[in-house]
Each structure stands twice: as C-alpha cells, then as structure tokens.
C-alpha cells in the first residue's frame, strides 16, 4: 500500500511540475477555412493570405530553392501564369528558405509570382507540410487550392513537380464550373 501511495504521490508531483501539453491542430483539409498567415516575400514585403480573399489561391509548399524538382515546379507555374491569371488565381510558393534566397531564385529563374519565407516553420507546420530530409528541416511538397471565400477545396500531398501545374489547372477548371 505504501508503494502505491508513493507512486500516486510521484504522479501527482510530476503532473503538477510538467507544463501543459499542447497538440498541433490537424492539417487543414478540404472544406476547412485556410489558416491565415503573414510571411515575407522575395521582395521583402509582408504577404498575408487574407489579402487574397476574393481570388483563388494556389498555395504550394516546396522543399528548397535552386533544387531540380523545385526549379521544374516553379518554371511550370511561371510558364502557365497567363492561364492562372485568366482564372483569377494567385500562386504563392512557400519554403523555409530566406526571403533573400527566394529573391536570388526568382531573379535567376525568371519567376514573377510570390515566394514566401517560412524561416520559423510555423506556416509549414500549420499546413502539415514540414519534413526532415538528411538532417534538414524542409517544407514538404504539398499544395492547397483555396477558393475566393478562403476555403480549402483541393489538397495535394503527392506532387510530381513535372506535371503539377497542369494538374492544378485541370482541377481549377473543374472547381470553377
């Protein structure tokens, strides 16, 4: 009985001294309102998701500037910019790279849509788009299509950068009917 009481006392003490545990909210899913955020763009300006209410948004997370898959994906979004603009769609790319890295990447690759720096990983975490690769923390290649009311209407977690822009355009054609 003494051992049991000691164990209970130990548990009570541990619980009292342990900070309250918090658990991350589940990843945003189709039908949910896209969590708002503000990040710095390659231009050094603050960009908030709420600034794009009334427009469709393709919010895409990608691992790293200047890597082959990320360059292909960005080039394809750039190639298709006119089609996105016709559909009233804004492209926002997010990685954990710095705004300066994004600026260099945009300059080198001729990109004219916004790339956003999530250096503290908060937005990537909120969107369940963070991964570890070779001891590096990177954004996972995920995409969220957000409608003009701010609701997530399509989620991609298995992205092929070679065909992703074409795939997103096809989905937008269906969603905007």
Residues annotated as catalytic are: 70
Q: What is the distance between the alpha carbons of residues 57 and 146, in angstroms, rounded to a whole number?
A: 5
> Would you say 68 and 160 are in contact if contact means Cβ atoms under 8 Å apart?
no
Q: Which strands make up the sheet holding 56-61, listed edge to edge?
A: 46-48, 38-41, 114-117, 89-95, 56-61, 142-146, 152-156
Question: Beta partners for 59?
Answer: 92, 144
Q: Which of 119, 131, 72 is nearest to 94 (CA)?
A: 119
Q: What is the distance between the alpha carbons of residues 103 and 105, in angstroms, rounded to a whole number?
A: 5
Q: What is the distance between the alpha carbons of residues 126 and 122, in angstroms, rounded to a whole number?
A: 6
Length of the chain: 177
> Would you say 147 and 27 are in contact if contact means Cβ atoms under 8 Å apart?
no
């Amino acid at each position: 009985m003494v051992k049991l009481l000691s164990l209970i006392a130990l548990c009570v003490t541990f619980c009292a001294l342990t900070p309250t545990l918090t658990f991350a909210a589940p990843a945003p899913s189709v039908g949910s309102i896209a969590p708002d955020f503000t990040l710095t763009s390659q231009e050094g300006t603050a960009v908030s998701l709420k600034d794009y209410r009334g427009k469709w948004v393709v919010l895409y997370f990608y691992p790293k500037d200047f890597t082959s898959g990320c360059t292909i994906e960005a080039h394809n979004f750039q190639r298709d910019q006119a089609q996105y603009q016709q559909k009233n769609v804004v492209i926002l790319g997010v990685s954990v790279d710095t705004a300066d890295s994004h600026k260099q990447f945009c300059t080198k690759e001729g990109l004219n849509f916004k790339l956003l720096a999530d250096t503290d990983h908060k937005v990537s975490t909120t969107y369940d788009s963070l991964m570890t690769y070779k001891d590096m923390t990177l954004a996972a290649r995920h995409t969220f299509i957000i409608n003009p009311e701010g609701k997530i209407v399509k989620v991609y977690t298995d992205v092929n950068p070679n065909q992703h822009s074409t795939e997103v355009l096809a989905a937008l054609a269906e969603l905007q009917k």
